[in-house]
């Protein structure tokens, strides 16, 4: 064990305790603002109270071990079996019998899952109950799919990032770097993802060759179960005015073209909230996404159009009231984004068409951990990143667009709605 060194904490512990206590009443009433305040204070309180050795053990050992235990539990359907029993409490012995797995192994896994907050350990030794997190994992397939996708796809990229950065003399991963092939063991790697997975393919090419991962990945992108937002109400109300009433008395023929829109989640949500707005909704994405059975059941208001956003917009999608990009541009470097935006411009009508972008806008000060986590994912998997307001202004400005508004989501760490139009 490392010897402890006394450090002065930058956190005001008494103040953090007061913040948690003062928000307690509102928290019981279900106030979201109070929940966020308590959560932020609680996280900072943990950082303030942990000894350095505890922080090291948590981040370098306990959390990776937690990820591994989660993956095994998903493989064994542990959380589903606990929920199916219809009982509040389940013992490790019963779970071992129902999964046909060594009881000692199950007991060890359950203990660590409980110590990390995924399960709740009851007063009776060896008995556990579901927490909100593990109950969600027991009930929703797409929550279950998030664990192996993160563990097997994103996790290796994080693990190998330090070694990759050594090969680049610690240059920020970006498009210019990816044009240079870094050699190791007679193989060439263009980015952290390629380095980690020992492949010359980019993320999209690689995942397309992994049939067992394609469906879970598309499901994750469609349902956004990892903290992403969709048409936040605080963003939607002014958007209804801009897309509908501001268009004048004329009937809008083409309302929104959702570029790279997955299985239509956003358009379904928009149509549900604003069923009376006139104009066709168009869903665009790759054939591999749009051929899914879920897409075939979309409302007739939503037209499905196979399209690659690295090519010009089809003639039938020109002149729309809005072109929408949700979590598209953060996957690509500025150079690639310039191509995507250049393909949109000829389809837009100046003074009429709007460009709508839902993505993270990283603040210059005290960014939320959710936003910075997504930035690290983008770095490792795509050699790209989330952008600050200044980054967005430069990217869109260079492409011939001016930002007219940026509306943040209702919760910290969620995406913003960026509205832009042609110069």
Helix (H, G, I), strand (E, B) or coil at 351: coil
DSSP characters for 358-374?
Answer: EE-EE-SSS--HHHHHH
Count how many Cα atoms sit within 13 Å of the Cα of residue 60 in the half-sphere of its side chain: 6
Active site residues: 330, 359, 386
| Alpha carbon distance 303, 13 (integer Å) | 55
**Both tokens of residue 12?**
């005001």
pLDDT on residue 235: 59
pLDDT, averaged in runs of 10, over the chain (423 residues):
58 92 80 86 94 94 95 94 85 92 95 96 92 90 84 92 92 63 50 91 86 68 51 62 62 90 89 87 92 86 95 94 94 93 96 93 91 94 94 97 88 87 95
| Alpha carbon distance 201, 376 (integer Å) | 20
Domain with CATH 1.10.10.10 in the chain: 50-139
Q: What interhelical angle do 141-149 and 211-223 show, nearest 10?
A: 120
pLDDT on residue 240: 72
**Was domain 50-139 assigned CATH 3.40.190.10?**
no
pLDDT on residue 249: 47
Architecture category of domain 233-422 in CATH: 3-Layer(aba) Sandwich (3.40)
Residues with Cβ < 8 Å from 352, sequence gap 6 or more?
A: 247, 319, 321
Domain with CATH 3.40.50.150 in the chain: 233-422
**Both tokens of residue 279?**
């104009």
DSSP characters for 132-170?
Answer: HHHHHHHH-HHHHHHHHHIIIIIHHHHHHHHHHHHHTTS
Whole-structure pTM value: 0.87
SS (H, E, C) the chain: CCCCCCCCCCCCHHHHHHHHHHCHHHHHCCCHHHHHHHHHHHHHHHHHHCCHHHHHHHHHHHHHHHHHHHHHHHHCCHHHHHHHCCCCCEEHHHHHHHHCCCHHHHHHHHHHHHHCCCEEECCCCCEEEECHHHHHHHHCHHHHHHHHHHHHHHHHHHHHHHHHHHHCCCCCCCHHHHCCCEEECCEEECCHHHHHHCCCCCHHHHHHCCHHHHHHHHHHHHHCCCCCCCCCHHHHHHHHHHHCHHHCCCCCCEEEEEECCCCCHHHHHHHHHCCCCCCEEEEEECHHHHCCHHHHCCCCCEEEEECCCCCCCCHHHCCCCEEEEECCHHHCCHHHHHHHHHHHHHHCCCCCCEEEEEECEECCCCCCHHHHHHHHHHHHHHCCCCEEHHHHHHHHHHCCEEEEEEECCCCCCCCEEEEEEEC
Residues with Cβ < 8 Å from 132, sequence gap 6 or more?
A: none
**Both tokens of residue 237?**
């109300």
Contact 113, 107 (CB under 8 A): no
318, 331, 342, 332: which is closest to 396 by C-alpha? 342
Give strand ranges (E) for 69-144: 90-91, 119-121, 127-130
Residue 12 CB coordination number (10 Å): 12
Residue listed under structure tokens 């950065």: 165
Q: What interhelical angle do 141-149 and 63-75 show, nearest 10?
A: 130
CA diameter of the chain: 74
Residues with Cβ < 8 Å from 416, sequence gap 6 or more?
A: 358, 359, 360, 361, 406, 407, 408, 409
| Alpha carbon distance 282, 278 (integer Å) | 13
């Amino acid at each position: 064990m490392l010897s402890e060194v006394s450090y002065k904490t930058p956190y005001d512990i008494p103040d953090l305790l007061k913040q948690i206590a003062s928000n307690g009443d509102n928290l019981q009433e279900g106030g979201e603002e109070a929940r966020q305040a308590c959560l932020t204070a609680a996280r900072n309180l943990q950082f303030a109270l942990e000894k350095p050795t505890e922080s090291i053990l948590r981040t370098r050992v306990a959390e990776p071990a937690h990820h591994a235990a989660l993956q095994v539990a998903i493989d064994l359907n542990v959380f589903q079996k606990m929920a199916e029993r219809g009982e509040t409490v389940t013992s490790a012995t019963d779970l071992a019998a129902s999964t046909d797995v060594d009881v000692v192994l199950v007991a060890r896994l359950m203990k660590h899952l409980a110590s990390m907050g995924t399960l709740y350990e009851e007063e009776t030794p060896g008995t556990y109950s579901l927490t909100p997190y593990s109950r969600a994992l027991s009930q929703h397939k797409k929550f279950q799919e998030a664990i192996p996708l993160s563990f097997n796809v994103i996790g290796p990229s994080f693990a190998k990032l330090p070694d990759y950065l050594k090969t680049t003399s610690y240059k920020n991963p970006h498009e210019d770097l990816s044009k240079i092939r870094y050699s190791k063991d007679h193989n060439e790697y263009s980015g952290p993802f390629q380095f980690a997975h020992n492949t010359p393919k980019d993320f999209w090419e690689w995942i397309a060759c992994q049939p067992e991962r394609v469906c879970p990945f598309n499901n994750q992108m469609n349902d956004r179960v990892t903290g992403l937002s969709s048409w936040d109400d605080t963003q939607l109300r002014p958007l209804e005015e801009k897309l509908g009433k501001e268009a004048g008395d004329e009937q809008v023929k083409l309302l929104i073209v959702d570029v790279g829109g997955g299985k239509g989640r956003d358009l379904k949500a928009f149509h549900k909230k604003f069923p009376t707005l006139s104009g066709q909704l168009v869903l665009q994405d790759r054939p591999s996404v749009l051929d899914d059975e879920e897409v075939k059941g979309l409302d007739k208001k939503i037209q499905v159009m196979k399209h690659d956003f690295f090519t010009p917009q089809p003639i039938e999608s020109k002149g729309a009231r809005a072109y929408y990009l949700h979590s598209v541009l953060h996957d690509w470097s500025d150079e690639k984004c310039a191509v995507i935006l250049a393909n949109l411009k000829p389809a837009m009508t100046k003074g009429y068409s709007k460009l709508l972008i839902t993505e993270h806008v990283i603040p210059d000060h005290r960014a939320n951990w959710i936003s910075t986590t997504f930035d690290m994912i983008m770095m490792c998997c795509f050699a790209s990143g989330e952008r600050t307001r200044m980054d967005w202004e430069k990217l869109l400005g260079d492409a011939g667009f001016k930002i007219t508004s940026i509306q943040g989501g209702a919760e910290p760490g969620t995406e913003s709605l960026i509205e832009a139009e042609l110069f």
